[in-house]
Amino acid sequence: MLKLYGSTTSPFVRRLRMWLANSEHQFINLQIFDGPDREILAKRNPTLKIPMIEDGDEVIFDSRVIYRYLTQKFAFPSPSWEQENQLTLIDAATDSLVQMLLLGRSDIDTSEDKMYFTLQRERVDSTLGHLNELVKQGHFADWHYPAICLYSLIDWIEFRTLHDLQDMDGLLAFHQANEQRIEATATNPRNET
């Protein structure tokens, strides 16, 4: 059986859990920062990152690569180049916010006027602004993998209070329109932590 390793709070893991909602798989929830779960992760994945999947003898790392692998395995439609760009935007914002979250949890003040922090804030502002416009133009009207990824990002931002979205009316409306989907409610990190 296909095994998905991750945590209930990771937006990269949640997107795959939501996308696999109608596919048989086992979700293995790990606490990756300490304890025996870290050892489980280290034995299977030298990057020490989640998500990862095991499919028989195959072990695949990284949500984007996992998506590509599963798209081929289940003969799902491949994303268009436009959707690939959307995924890149979503991943860029998510990566920057993950870095800032981890730095904050390491007692580093990310509000300082330092180049690294400034670049991350600029990237988040720019990508979220662009995604907000794409939503308003209807690019995420269908519930496809990029839409699932966008929903996971927005909900994670709200869950962790990582960015002020009050001026992002497209993103907020998109979030509200999809928050009662069974995939969203079943994987809501507020209910699983």
Same domain, yes or no, for 72 and 103? Answer: no
Residue 87 lies in a domain: yes
Given a cut of 60, whether residue 171 has pLDDT beyond it is yes
Number of folded domains that form the chain: 2
Mean pLDDT, residues 28-44 taken together: 84
Could you write out the DSSP letters of every residue in 69-115?
A: HHHHHTTPPPPPHHHHHHHHHHHHHHHHHHHHHHHHHTT--TTS--H
Domain assignment present for residue 124? The answer is yes
Domain that holds residue 54: 3-76
Q: What is the pLDDT of residue 32?
A: 80
Answer yes or no: is 189 within a domain: no
pLDDT at 192 over 80: no
pLDDT at 193 over 70: no
Give CA 54 to chain center in angstroms: 19
Q: 25 with 67, same domain? A: yes
Express each pLDDT in 98-157 by its tens digit.
999 999 999 999 999 999 999 999 999 999 999 999 999 999 999 999 999 999 999 999
Residues 88 and 49 occupy one common structural domain: no
Cα separation, 134 vs 127, in Å, equals 10
Q: How far apart are CA 124 and CA 121, in angstroms?
A: 5
Q: pLDDT tens digits for 153-164?
A: 999 999 999 999
One domain for residues 47 and 114: no
| Average pLDDT taken over every residue of the chain | 95
- Per residue in 69-105, pLDDT (tens digit) is 999 999 999 999 999 999 999 999 999 999 999 999 9
Tell whether 54 and 107 lie within a shared domain: no
Same domain, 57 and 88: no
